[in-house]
Structure 1
Amino acid sequence: MHTTTSQSTADPAIAQPAPVKRLLSLDTLRGFDMFWIMGGEDVFHILAKTTGWAWAVVIAEQLHHPDWNGFTAYDLIFPLFLFMAGVSTPFSIGSRLEKGADKSEVARKIITRGLVLVLLGVIYNNGLFVKAFQDTRFPSVLGRIGLAGMFGQLIYLYASTRFQYIWFVGLLLGYWALMMLVPVPGCGAGILTMECNLASFIDRQIVPGHLYKTIHDPEGVFSTIPAIGNALLGIFAGTFLRAHGRTGVQKTLRLLGIGVGFVVLAWLWNFVFPVNKNLWTSSFVCVTGGFSLILLAIFYWVIDVKGLKGWTFFFTVIGMNSILIYLAGEFISFDYAARFFFEGLLKLSSSEVVQKVGMAIGVLAVKWAFLYYMYKKKTFLRV
């Protein structure tokens, strides 16, 4: 892991690939995605709670994960990051291969990045050497991004386009078959409760330390297998965008059409294999992949095709250092800084709405200012 002050020479990271100049939309979309978990969600939760406004309540309800089966907009944040890592792959690794880079050397760097992200995920969850081994949670968001992104990129590196598609279909169908047909001791086959599903059972047998929900971990090892599909779908989208021969409008319409198709497929598949983020079911891959394609198409059309770029800077600053702000909250008290700068001013108002919503916006502003400072210094955290 290192910081860099040069965008042109930095190796792309799996979790946060180097900015692709021809796709400003990708950095903007990454920043839009990160905006919600760096503070955007808090603004709407507090707004809904303090005002009761119907539109704020509707948005806030979409910023919660379902208890088990189902899907909300909040479920899209994590797989969208994984998808975007895939989108950048043909631009970064593909261009290096075209310049004659050695595949084994590229593979070594891909594997190294993946394992570093796993390590960072363990540190993010547990701190550094502060928990006993049996109390340590090893699965993590960064770990899943690292492993799924790593395997997706290795498939891109060594498999032909045809076999990349075969891998994608095989992973989703294979995971479905295993989850529904392999019996779990004491439960039987095809039971998808938290206690009895195959993924949780396997994680309980092989994952060391502590699982997030004791009997289940939403970032477990076995359910990382279908997550490779999100990375591969991003790779397919990136390959398509990088190819010549189609106009920007044609590319936009193709991405939109395929995205809608995946969403429809997901809800049909949902009847026999429920959409479930905790298990990262194949139908969940399809619905998140479909919405990821739709969002990418919209951002690509607005920014790269129509050239409407003035509004992108706010999100681009976030997107170019998304892994930094994800980790920084564990080490920097942004809340303390926000209180220092804004608490006195906000107390001038007697309105609870102004005070609470204002403080949430203040925290978000402090985080953005921190990222803007790093942006002006051209310092970007890479893995």
Structure 2
Amino acid sequence: MSSPAPPQPASTRLASIDAYRGLVMFLMMAEVLHFAGVAAAVPGNPLWEFLGYHQSHVAWVGCSLHDLIQPSFSFLVGVSLPFSLASRNAHGQSRRRLFLHALWRAAVLVALGIFLRSIGKPGTNYTFEDTLTQIGLGYPFLFLLGLRPQRDRWFAVAVLLVATWVAFVLYPLPGSSFNLADVGVSPDWPHLMDGLAAHWNKNTNLAWAFDRWFLNLFPRDEPFLFNGGGYATLNFVPTLATMTLGVIAGEVLRGPRSTRGKVGWLLAAGLLAMLAGWGLGELGICPVVKRIWTPSWVLFSGGWCFLFLGAAYGLIDGLGWKRWVFPLVVIGMNSIAAYLMSWLFEGFIGNALTRHVGAETFRALGDPYERLLHGAAVLLVLWLLLFWMYRRKLFLKI
């Protein structure tokens, strides 16, 4: 693992990136397994409680494995950018053409996000907190940072985090007469914070106030008052910092360090970032909240992303453990298709399985595990569809 490695050629595709992306998409698709439902049906079982917790989002402060899906997906968009730019530059594409493609990609991602969030709604649901819309809103700026040297990217991350922190702190806290119930928060909700951290409370912060204005500029059946989960459009600003950390990591992978040097750099960066984010939360300077993408969340989740990528690169591309992650690579090489399938086909496949196989088949282990077995069957069908596309080299790209 210590042999010197030249910069990666423009055409090189790292299996570790595809496998990591595949793991992220698998965790999202695996929601059909309903671990939390099994845990509720089998109370007191520590295994199912553990799995149920890590397949659910935390209420506000903190992190579960499920909370790392969106930052990982965003981070990997950044990781791929240096490789994409190198490939396109090798084919002689001008910067103007590259930037126009970045704008097109951003527009498609935003449109796709809105389309998916509108499924089952009476009309277009103009909302911008979806993973795809968040990436799309920040992607043109990410592209421009991809053209800059590493020091400029580090500087951009610092500016984005500090500016976001200052903006939230300067936004005034609600007065004593403010009715939390009007914004979907119970006054005795156990996750309310006080002191400096209160500037990041659910639906009383700067991002919520922005959406009360911004989202009501679009046609709606009813005025927008709050997001039930606390998610916000302005999350795309610190999400851009997460994606920029990915660009930095991607440039490291393309760089001249040895394999061991790259792994060591990624693991060290991951530990430092994760500890910095955790420390900011513990000191009360900035809570670690995924739902509004606080600066400390950028560092904490970004640290995990560095660690995952470093481990994946060392094991898969360094030690050559590629055969073991092939099922994940199948998903990761068609991540957009996997994302769309989970939204568009999951229900159809589930209903078809029940209709043709019979509900009793999925009760073979008892009623508590019916949804688990049904979900596993859906997940298998989705993977087989992706494998069919992989075998025929059908890859959905934007």
| TM-score, with structure 2 as normaliser | 0.82
Q: Secondary structure at the match of 1:223?
A: helix
**Structure 2 residue aligned with 1:234:** 246
Structure 2 residue 318 is the aligned partner of structure 1 residue 327: no
The residue number in structure 1 matching 2:13 is 22
Q: CA deviation at 1:182?
A: 3.4
1:221: how far off? 2.7
Which one of the candidate residues 183, 199, 209 is aligned to 1:191? 199
Alignment CA distance shift 1:212-1:170 (3 Å): farther
Q: Deviations over 1:2-61 (max 9, x none)?
A: xxxxxxxxxxxxxxxxx9743101111111111111125625334434445312311211
Q: Which residue of 2 aligns with 1:162?
A: 151
Q: Give the superposition deviation at 1:218.
A: 5.0
Identity of aligned residues (%): 30
Q: CA RMSD in A?
A: 2.8
Q: Is the 8 A contact 2:242 2:298 kept in 1?
A: yes
Instruction: Return closer, same or farther for 1:206/1:256 CA change in 2, 3 Å cut-off.
Output: same
Q: Which runs of 5+ in 1 are unaligned?
A: 1-18
Structure 1 residues 354 and 63: CA distance shift in structure 2, 3 A: closer
Residue 103 of structure 1 corresponds to 95
Contact 1:88 1:235 (8 Å CA) reproduced: yes
Q: Does residue 358 of structure 2 align to residue 346 of structure 1?
A: no
What SS does the aligned partner of 1:381 have? coil
Distance in 1 (CA, whole Å) between partners of 2:99 and 2:90 is 15
1:183 Cα deviation from its structure 2 partner: 2.9
The answer to whether the 8 A contact 2:277-2:296 is kept is: yes
TM-score by length of 1: 0.85
Q: Does the residue aligned with 1:382 lie in a helix, a strand or coil?
A: coil
1:319 CA drift (Å): 1.1
- 1:267 matches 2:275: no
2:258 to 247, 261, 270: 247
Question: Which residue of structure 2 lines up, in the alignment, with residue 178 of structure 1?
Answer: 167
Q: Distance in 2 between matches of 1:20 and 1:57?
A: 44
How far off its partner does 1:303 sit?
Answer: 0.4
Alignment of 1:335-374 (within 5 A): 335-340=350-355, 342-343=357-358, 346=361, 349=364, 351-353=366-368, 355-374=370-389
Instruction: Name the CA distance, whole Å, in 2 between partners of 1:37 and 1:213.
Output: 28
Q: Does 2:213 align with 1:205? A: yes
The letter for the 1-side match of 2:149 is S
Structure 2 unaligned runs (5+)? 1-9, 179-194
- How far, CA to CA, are the matches of 2:277 and 2:18 in structure 1? 27
SS of corresponding position for 2:344: coil
Equivalent residue, structure 1, for 2:27: 36
- Find 2:48's aligned residue among 47, 56, 76: 56
Q: Which moved more, 1:217-226 or 1:191-200?
A: 217-226
Q: Give the match's secondary structure for 1:70.
A: coil
1:283 aligns with 2:296: yes
Paired residue type of 2:156: W
Change (3 A) 1:191 1:331: closer
> Which moved further from structure 2: 35-44 or 338-347?
338-347
Q: 1: CA distance between counterparts of 2:330 and 2:298?
A: 28
Note if contact 1:41-1:60 (Cα within 8 Å) is conserved in structure 2: no
Change (3 A) 1:359 1:131: closer
- Per the TM alignment, residue 296 of structure 1 is displaced from its structure 2 partner at its CA by 0.5
